Structure 1
Amino acid sequence: MIQQTVLEQLSTVFRIRDLGKPRFFLGIEAVDAAGTIVLSQKRYITELLRRAGMESCKPLATPASPSTQAASHDSDAFEDPTPYRQLVGSLMYLLITRPDLAYSVNRLCQFMHNPAQGYWGALKRVFRYVKGSLDIGLRITPSVVPVLHAFSDSDWVGCSVDQKSTGGYAVFLGPNLLSWVSRKQRTVARSSTEAEYKALANVAAEVTWIQSLLRDLGLLLAAVPVLWCDNLGATYLCSNPIFHARTKHVELDYHFLRDKVSTGALKVKFVSTHDQLANIFTKPLSAARFAELRHKLGVVPSPRQLEGEY
């Protein structure tokens, strides 16, 4: 088994002891059922709701509303922003097992330096969603053939404050979500193709690092990693060797990603918006769409919750 091989290799360098299957570590519970592990932070969430005074709040189906802005930045600033900063900082720890919170928490973190009163409502909405999804966690399942693939997406000019785009990606090893990000891009994109291409360059860097890590662990991939993008312009740009006026300003990212594609280290393919899993990291979604993508990411009810043990 790969697990045993890794342990044996580590034991030749470090003094280690095999403690068996994981159970509870740093606030993360590993629930095992029929070979599938669900990583859950239910105890941490329960304590967090108590600290926020929202143990009995009414649950919601999504952490952000698709019909309105997350909050108004025109409202008055907090006299004491400490509670806001403490609660948002605590939510960041949930991202270890809850990728479905990535977009909302990223949005709240952008105003930590000077939060307005209006963002308190957005923060409370996230807690109400967490209350309603207390028993879900990140599923980890065995994979016979290690295949690395990733989804990349961008919401062009998604922020009404500074007109910057939000980029996100999800990297999978087999059926398991391995790495994910929701992050505002550092520069203003002049086209949706540019915004999507920058997001592709970011996930290409992440996949390259994961490839290097897997090689160090002695795990050889069965195929070339595939990056899925729902923007045809960005997809064509990866394999088009000809520069033109509209792409000169993204030359640095172009060369990095273009070299990866031309050498065969990565493949970039088009995927329809309906099948774009990274949508959940770039924009608020309807309840049905959010639940669909959350399930496809592997965020599912804990086996104990399904069995009624909670």
Structure 2
Amino acid sequence: MIITGNDLSGIQELKDFLSQQFEMKDLGHLSYFLGLEITHSTYGLYITQAKYASDLLSQAGLTDMSQYLSAPRSTHYAAVLRILRYLKGTIFHGLFYSTQSPLVLRAFSDADWAGDPTDRRSTKGYCFLLGSSLISWRSKKQTFVARSSTEAEYRALADTTSELLWLRWLLKDLGVSTFSATPLYCDKQSAIHIAHNDVFHERTKHIEIDCHFIRYHLVHGALKLFFVSSKDQLADIFTKSLPTRRTRDLIDNLKLVSHPP
């Protein structure tokens, strides 16, 4: 069990009560949990997976090639080696959560279009920041082949909206105010236009459920859509391969550091 909070006396009372009811041991400050290594400082928390990455590198010969496992080729093996080399070079990279970060939620949603040359499915990605702290992110191939870049982006927006609603509920349950709409940033003007347009036509009927879903929560104030230029789209890193400098810029903006401040 992990107990957190600012009320130290209340935490101690809870631990005393639990120790009377169950056999338990106080392990002190959290330092390792589910593969995550946590370092505490007066400035915040630094979370890394260095041990997990090291174990993965040591077992590189057993690495799963996912969708190409049944018939791997030399190009797939080269891709696996590239990933492992990246892990080796970033083994001590971790996320920093500042104690000064404001409790304001914002979201970024993105998708490439037909980026997989094998099946032409698109990759969707999103990330959520609480102030300057990255708290949720995802990168996944879409289930269906999108017939346009707008469709790919809109389906990504729908998935991002689902996560947004859950995070707003979680924050509210933790006592964080969620009265104002959560800003959701997208770099596709046409997708934003569809979300604000209550007239369906031939081009959007195949994503009609997603349209209704996003528009409902847009109208009821859970989210507010904003256009963001591609260069400022933080979710870009979760949808495609990027040049080195662009990757480094996004990593810096997501507060991914190689050592705690």
Length-normalised TM-score, structure 2: 0.87
**Do residues 288 (structure 1) and 220 (structure 2) align?**
no
For residues 220 and 26 of structure 2, the distance between their equivalents in structure 1, rounded to whole angstroms, comes to 41
Query: Does structure 2 conserve the Cα–Cα contact (< 8 Å) formed by 1:145 and 1:222?
Result: no
Structure 2 equivalent of residue 184 of structure 1: 141
- CA drift of 1:292 comes to 0.8
The equivalent position to 1:28 in structure 2, one of 36, 45, 48, is 36
Identity over aligned pairs, percent: 41
Structure 2 equivalent of residue 267 of structure 1: 224
1:164 aligned partner, one-letter code: R
Query: Does structure 2 conserve the Cα–Cα contact (< 8 Å) formed by 1:143 and 1:175?
Result: no
The equivalent position to 1:223 in structure 2, one of 180, 187, 205, is 180
For residues 130 and 123 of structure 2, the distance between their equivalents in structure 1, rounded to whole angstroms, comes to 24
Which protein, 1 or 2, shows the higher relative CO under an 8 Å CA cutoff with sep ≥ 6?
1
The CA RMSD over aligned residues, in Å, is 2.6
For residues 178 and 282 of structure 1, the distance between their equivalents in structure 2, rounded to whole angstroms, comes to 18
Q: Which structure 2 segments of 5+ residues have no match?
A: 20-24
Q: Secondary structure at the match of 2:83?
A: helix
Query: Does structure 1 conserve the Cα–Cα contact (< 8 Å) formed by 2:96 and 2:257?
Result: yes
Q: Which structure 1 segments of 5+ residues have no match?
A: 54-82, 86-107
The equivalent position to 2:169 in structure 1, one of 204, 212, 220, is 212
Report matched runs for 1:237-252 at 5 Å: 237-252=194-209
Structure 2 equivalent of residue 118 of structure 1: 75
For residues 19 and 234 of structure 1, the distance between their equivalents in structure 2, rounded to whole angstroms, comes to 49
Query: Does structure 1 conserve the Cα–Cα contact (< 8 Å) formed by 2:110 and 2:236?
Result: yes
Query: Does structure 2 conserve the Cα–Cα contact (< 8 Å) formed by 1:31 and 1:302?
Result: no
1:232 aligned partner, one-letter code: Q
The equivalent position to 1:51 in structure 2, one of 28, 38, 59, is 59
For residues 217 and 115 of structure 1, the distance between their equivalents in structure 2, rounded to whole angstroms, comes to 47
For residues 113 and 72 of structure 2, the distance between their equivalents in structure 1, rounded to whole angstroms, comes to 24
Structure 1 equivalent of residue 89 of structure 2: 132
Structure 2 equivalent of residue 61 of structure 1: none
2:175 aligned partner, one-letter code: G
The equivalent position to 1:38 in structure 2, one of 46, 51, 71, is 46
For residues 217 and 196 of structure 1, the distance between their equivalents in structure 2, rounded to whole angstroms, comes to 31
- CA drift of 1:20 comes to 4.2
Structure 2 equivalent of residue 279 of structure 1: 236
For residues 144 and 173 of structure 1, the distance between their equivalents in structure 2, rounded to whole angstroms, comes to 7
Structure 1 equivalent of residue 6 of structure 2: 4
For residues 9 and 33 of structure 2, the distance between their equivalents in structure 1, rounded to whole angstroms, comes to 18
For residues 248 and 8 of structure 1, the distance between their equivalents in structure 2, rounded to whole angstroms, comes to 54
The equivalent position to 2:18 in structure 1, one of 15, 20, 24, is 15
Query: Does structure 2 conserve the Cα–Cα contact (< 8 Å) formed by 1:146 and 1:222?
Result: no
Query: Does structure 2 conserve the Cα–Cα contact (< 8 Å) formed by 1:147 and 1:223?
Result: no
- CA drift of 1:52 comes to 2.5
Structure 2 equivalent of residue 75 of structure 1: none
Deviations 1:164-219 (A, max 9, x none): 11110001111111111111111111111111010000000001011112222222
